[in-house]
């Protein structure tokens, strides 16, 4: 793995940890030298780096797929050019252009930075024309044009993880329901309690997008479900995604194993949902060293599993782990996962107890 952090979560399971920045030419050369095939877990790496590695080793998904998905404008253009349904959107490279763009997409709207936003960071919701100036000031145009899109009054958010192998074989996981709080994913329920026709529409969309991207690996497609059954594509992530973490416990092939199978050119595994499941994220609620308490209580439900990412630092709303619960149905699973998550707390660690 290439990761600048000495506490890289992947380092303990990697053969070699190359400590260099994601765009370090030396680090990338070393990564290419020591690997048979290269993939990425973070999209906010420079596509130039992926292209550099690609000269020596297969990068899967490809640098072209990475480039299309990591930049909101390129992603929107890709979706539009292939005829996939998206919220009305526009780009704007100045405050004046933002005013005009807002009029064309309609109110309320959301203004987003074009690059490196995640977990709802880098976006501002605007209800009236008066909000636009503050959004422009907060986000700035220094990263390139801002993306402005209509705020969609969705009835639910859905997500689909699709895997595509080297030979184009596709396997798709259940359509799940996701819940975001202020832009950050907090809960997932699998399967999504939606009519079969809607689940089918979401599945076909995800598989078509994977094909259009010429994807090798797994792809998460985030969607908005509208009142009349229409499904719009919100965002793409060409990697294992938070909305698919439940697959570790609820499917015979997790999204992580599936990704590795796909990029190594191995046959894909079964994606059937073996039991209804739900996932609740564990977010940091303070800054500084902290210790997780309540584990015994959380695990007193035998259908609950706890996953911690080993991130060295806690900060407010940082994703630090998740709980998955299996259940008799998605609602039962969700109730169990919520109960377990509610029992868990980050307690500040006294200075003397710090490792
Ligand atoms: N146009 C929109 N209409 C309604 N909700 C939105 C819109 N854009 C973003 N959101 C909300 O914010 C969340 C995060 O936005 P998203 O564009 O997926 O960015 P991120 O990269 O932070 O995940 C979405 O899952 C959704 O809940
Ligand atoms: Mg998103």
CA–CA distance, 118 with 239 (Å, rounded to integer): 14
Output the CA 56–ligand 2 centroid distance in Å: 32
What is the tens place of the pLDDT at every residue in 4-56? 999 888 999 999 999 999 989 999 999 999 999 999 998 877 778 899 999 99
Spell out the residues 6+ positions from residue 108 whose beta carbon is closer than 8 angstroms to its own.
125, 126, 127, 150, 151
- Closest CA relative to residue 108, chosen from 143, 135, 85, 84: 135
Which residue, judged by its Cα, is nearest atom 19 of ligand 1? 120
CA–CA distance, 350 with 332 (Å, rounded to integer): 37
Spell out the residues 6+ positions from residue 150 whose beta carbon is closer than 8 angstroms to its own.
87, 88, 89, 105, 106, 108, 109, 110
User: What is the model's pLDDT at position 353?
Assistant: 54
Above 90 in pLDDT, residue 2? yes
Q: If you count DSSP H runs as helices and E runs as strands, how many of each does the chain have, helices first?
A: 11, 15
Q: Which of 180, 233, 319 to mutate to test the pocket of ligand 1 (most atoms within 8 A of CB)?
A: 180
> Taking the model in full, what pTM does it have?
0.96
Above 70 in pLDDT, residue 354? no
CA–CA distance, 306 with 299 (Å, rounded to integer): 8
User: What is the model's pLDDT at position 352?
Assistant: 55
Output the CA 236–ligand 1 centroid distance in Å: 11
Name the closest ligand to CA 155. 1
Output the CA 34–ligand 1 centroid distance in Å: 37
**Ligand 1 pocket, 119 CB below 6 A?**
yes
Q: Which residues pair with 323 in a beta bridge?
A: 280, 306
What is the tens place of the pLDDT at every residue in 87-124? 999 999 999 999 999 999 999 999 999 987 888 889 99
Spell out the residues 6+ positions from residue 136 whose beta carbon is closer than 8 angstroms to its own.
95, 98, 111, 146
Which residue, judged by its Cα, is nearest atom 14 of ligand 1? 183
Name the closest ligand to CA 223. 1
If you average pLDDT over residues 277-295, what whole number do you get?
93
**Ligand 1 pocket, 152 CB below 6 A?**
yes
**Ligand 1 pocket, 183 CB below 6 A?**
yes
**Ligand 1 pocket, 118 CB below 6 A?**
yes
If you average pLDDT over residues 152-162, what whole number do you get?
98
User: What is the model's pLDDT at position 307?
Assistant: 98
**Ligand 1 pocket, 149 CB below 6 A?**
yes
**Ligand 1 pocket, 317 CB below 6 A?**
no
The angle formed by the CA atoms of residues 121, 125 and 131, to the nearest 5 degrees, is 125
More confident residue, 118 or 297: 297
If you average pLDDT over residues 262-278, what whole number do you get?
98
Percent of the chain with pLDDT over 70: 99
Ligand 1 atom at minimal distance to the Cα of residue 89: 1
Output the CA 235–ligand 2 centroid distance in Å: 6
**Ligand 1 pocket, 225 CB below 6 A?**
no
Above 80 in pLDDT, residue 351? no
Q: Which of 116, 183, 188, 242 to mutate to test the pocket of ligand 1 (most atoms within 8 A of CB)?
A: 183
CA–CA distance, 50 with 67 (Å, rounded to integer): 9
Percent of the chain with pLDDT over 90: 87
CA–CA distance, 325 with 301 (Å, rounded to integer): 9
């Amino acid at each position: 793995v290439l990761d600048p952090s000495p506490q890289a979560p992947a380092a303990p399971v990697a053969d070699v940890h190359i400590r260099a920045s994601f765009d370090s030419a030396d680090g990338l050369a070393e990564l290419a030298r020591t690997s048979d095939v290269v993939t990425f877990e973070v999209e906010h790496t420079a596509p130039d780096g992926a292209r550099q590695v690609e000269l020596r080793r297969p990068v899967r998904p490809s640098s072209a797929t990475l480039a299309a998905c990591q930049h909101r404008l390129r992603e929107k253009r890709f979706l539009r050019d292939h005829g996939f349904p998206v919220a009305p959107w526009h780009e704007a490279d100045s405050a004046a252009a933002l005013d005009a763009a807002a009029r064309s997409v309609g109110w309320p709207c959301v203004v987003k930075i074009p690059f490196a936003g995640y977990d709802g960071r880098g976006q501002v919701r605007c209800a009236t024309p008066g909000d636009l100036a503050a959004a422009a000031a907060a986000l700035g145009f220094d990263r390139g044009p801002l993306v402005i899109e209509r705020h969609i009054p969705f009835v639910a958010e859905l997500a689909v993880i699709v895997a595509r192998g080297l030979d184009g074989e596709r396997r798709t996981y259940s359509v799940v329901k996701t819940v975001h709080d202020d832009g950050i994913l907090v809960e997932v329920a699998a399967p999504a309690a939606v009519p079969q026709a809607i689940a089918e529409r979401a599945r076909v969309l995800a598989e078509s997008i994977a094909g259009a991207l010429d994807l090798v690996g797994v792809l998460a497609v985030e969607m908005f479900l509208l009142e009349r059954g229409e499904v719009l594509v919100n965002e793409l992530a060409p990697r294992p995604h938070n909305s698919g973490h439940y697959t570790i416990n609820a499917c015979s092939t997790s999204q992580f194993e599936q990704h590795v199978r796909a990029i190594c050119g191995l046959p894909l595994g079964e994606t059937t949902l073996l039991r209804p499941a739900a996932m609740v994220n564990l977010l940091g609620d303070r800054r500084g060293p902290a210790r997780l308490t309540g584990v015994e209580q959380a695990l007193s439900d035998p259908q609950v599993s706890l996953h911690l990412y080993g991130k060295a630092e806690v900060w407010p709303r940082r994703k630090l782990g998740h709980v998955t619960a299996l259940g008799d149905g998605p609602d039962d699973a969700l109730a169990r996962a919520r109960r377990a998550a509610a029992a868990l707390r980050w307690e500040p660690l006294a200075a003397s107890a710090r490792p």
